[in-house]
């Protein structure tokens, strides 16, 4: 089975906070499309992810937004296609941590096996984030019994903090953003990858840019919003 690369930070792109009951930190119109491109430290394009809002359900102050996530590599070959749901409950947003693990890594015949076991907690972001806020940690573990071995993947997001409010310019435009920081440790088949990340979120959009750094603080990759279709 060919292992796929963990797609950690693009899925995280859609975790965002509620600014007010009327103004959200993510798009909520069915049909909206956001396209992101990822580049390595040498500015070489490595990945494209397209998010399309498929469905929006509201009940009082609660909301479920379903996205179709389509990822392609630098050769425009499909990596995976899946759905993810962002949930708003009252004044908080909850994001299923299992979406931080690339289920494509488990694929053998093009389908995600039904016997994958997922444990962990949801990633939580509060309403009205302000610089200095410290946010809860989140973890997830995914395992599948393959007969001759158990394949495991995990991700842990820690030291989450709201750093500042600043303007960020990317290919899709210029946005007023909330800057978030966190540490991420991903483990696949015993191999650990530790990174620190910076994320810029804009109201009505979600993530505008994400940067990933190694343990020495050197930029390893970045992801930017390149196009919005509404």
Q: Identify the top-confidence range among 74-83, 106-115, 117-126.
A: 74-83
Q: Could you count the other beta carbons within 10 Å of the beta carbon of residue 211?
A: 18
Q: Give the model's pLDDT for residue 54.
A: 94
**Is residue 151 domain-resident?**
yes
Task: Using pLDDT thresholds of 50, 70 and 90, give the confidence band for residue 120.
Answer: low
CA nearest to 209, candidates 30, 26, 10: 10
pLDDT of 113: 53
Based on the structure, what is the number of domains in the chain? 1
Range 50-73 average pLDDT: 88
- Range(s) of the domain holding residue 183: 9-229
Residues composing the chain = 230
**202 pLDDT exceeds 60?**
yes
Whole-model pTM above 0.95? no
In a domain, 93, yes or no: yes
Q: Is residue 3 part of a domain?
A: no
Instruction: Note whether residue 4 is domain-resident.
Output: no
pLDDT, tens digit (0-9, with 9 covering 90-100), for 166-175: 999 999 999 9
Q: How confident is the model at residue 185 (pLDDT cuts 50, 70, 90)?
A: confident
The 10s digit of each residue's pLDDT in 10-24 is 444 444 333 333 456
- CATH code: domain of residue 170: 2.40.360.20
On whether residue 1 sits in a domain, the answer given is no
């Amino acid at each position: 089975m060919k292992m796929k690369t963990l797609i950690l930070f693009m899925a995280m792109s859609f975790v965002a906070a509620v600014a007010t009951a009327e103004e959200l930190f993510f798009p909520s119109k069915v049909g909206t499309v956001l396209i992101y491109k990822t580049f390595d430290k040498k500015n070489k394009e490595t990945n494209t992810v397209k998010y399309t809002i498929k469905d929006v359900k509201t009940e009082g102050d609660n909301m479920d937004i379903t996205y179709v996530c389509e990822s392609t590599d630098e050769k425009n070959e499909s990596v995976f296609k899946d759905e993810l749901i962002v949930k708003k409950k009252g004044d908080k947003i909850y994001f299923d941590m299992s979406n931080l693990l690339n289920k494509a890594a488990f694929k053998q015949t093009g389908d995600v096996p039904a016997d994958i076991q997922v444990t962990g907690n949801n990633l939580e972001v509060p309403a009205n984030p302000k610089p200095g806020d410290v946010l809860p940690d989140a973890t997830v573990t995914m395992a599948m019994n393959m007969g001759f071995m158990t394949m495991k993947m995990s991700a842990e997001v820690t030291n989450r903090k709201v750093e500042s409010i600043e303007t960020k310019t990317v290919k899709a435009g210029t946005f007023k953003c909330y800057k978030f920081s966190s540490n991420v440790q991903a483990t696949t088949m015993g191999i650990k990858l530790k990174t620190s990340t910076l994320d810029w979120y804009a109201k009505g959009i979600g993530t505008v840019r994400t940067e990933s750094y190694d343990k020495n603080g050197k930029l390893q990759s970045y992801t930017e919003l390149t196009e919005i279709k509404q």
